[in-house]
């Protein structure tokens, strides 16, 4: 069983994360609770496209999202509603709270072998357009999910 190793993540050359994602059971309550630290929050929905879960054909999901800030770091709150997602898995395992770190990369597809070399496998991924894609990676024994995002930096809250 692998264990979390900050040295492993550092060896990938991802730089600094630009987002911390938290999975919550009640988005409204979480926004109220964390507004003094990370608010004000902007709500968004990304339910208009399908995402591949654990290598299966892309399928629809529903979730609510809110975005706040801690300095330069984006804080994402996610309330899972339905569908196959790692957020559902997290909740079903009895967890709530910090779920993933997001890193921006030039091309998500180029990172698959580098992530695999450290035992990470893609669990949730989507290429919505030639310039926008994301992938969540996990590895056995490591509760922290890593998200890689390929997208133009628009300054808008993002997945």
Q: What is the pLDDT of residue 8?
A: 73
Instruction: Give the model confidence (pLDDT) of 27-70 as tens digits.
Output: 999 999 999 999 899 998 876 678 999 999 999 999 999 999 99
Cβ atoms of residues 13 and 111 within 8 Å: no
Strands 19-23 and 97-104: antiparallel
Between 140 and 45, where is the model more confident?
Answer: 140
Strands 132-139 and 142-150: antiparallel
Least confident span in 1-15, 86-100, 120-134, 140-154? 1-15
User: Whole-model pTM?
Assistant: 0.90
Q: How many angstroms separate the CA atoms of 77 and 56, rounded?
A: 25
Query: Per this entry, what is the length of the chain?
Result: 159
- Looking up tokens 């926004």 gives 31
Pair of tokens at residue 75: 């804080």
Strand order across the beta sheet in which 132-139 lies:
42-44, 62-70, 73-82, 19-23, 97-104, 142-150, 132-139, 121-129, 52-53
pLDDT exceeds cutoff 60 at 4: no
State the CB neighbour count (10 A cutoff) for residue 109: 13
The four Cα atoms 12, 97, 20, 155 give a dihedral, to 10 degrees, of: 150
Give the burial string for 53-85 (b: 16+ CB within 10 Å, else e): beeeeeeebebbbbbbbeeeebbbbbbbeebbb
**Mean pLDDT throughout 81-103?**
96
pLDDT exceeds cutoff 80 at 138: yes
Q: How many angstroms separate the CA atoms of 148 and 92, rounded?
A: 23
Q: What is the pLDDT of residue 3?
A: 53
pLDDT exceeds cutoff 70 at 158: no
């Amino acid at each position: 069983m692998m264990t979390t190793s900050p040295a492993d993540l550092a060896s990938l050359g991802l730089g600094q994360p630009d987002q911390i994602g938290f999975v919550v059971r009640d988005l409204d309550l979480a926004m109220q609770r964390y507004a003094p630290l990370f608010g004000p929050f902007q709500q968004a929905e990304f339910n208009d496209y399908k995402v591949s879960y654990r290598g299966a054909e892309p399928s629809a999901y529903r979730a609510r999202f809110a975005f706040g800030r801690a300095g330069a770091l984006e804080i994402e709150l996610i309330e899972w509603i339905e569908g196959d997602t790692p957020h559902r898995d997290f909740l079903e395992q009895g967890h709530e709270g910090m779920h993933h770190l997001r890193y921006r990369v030039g091309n998500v597809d180029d990172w698959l072998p580098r992530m695999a070399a450290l035992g990470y496998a893609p669990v949730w991924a989507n290429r919505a357009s030639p310039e926008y894609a994301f992938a969540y990676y996990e590895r056995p024994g490591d509760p922290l999910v890593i998200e890689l995002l390929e997208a133009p930096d628009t300054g808008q809250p993002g997945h």
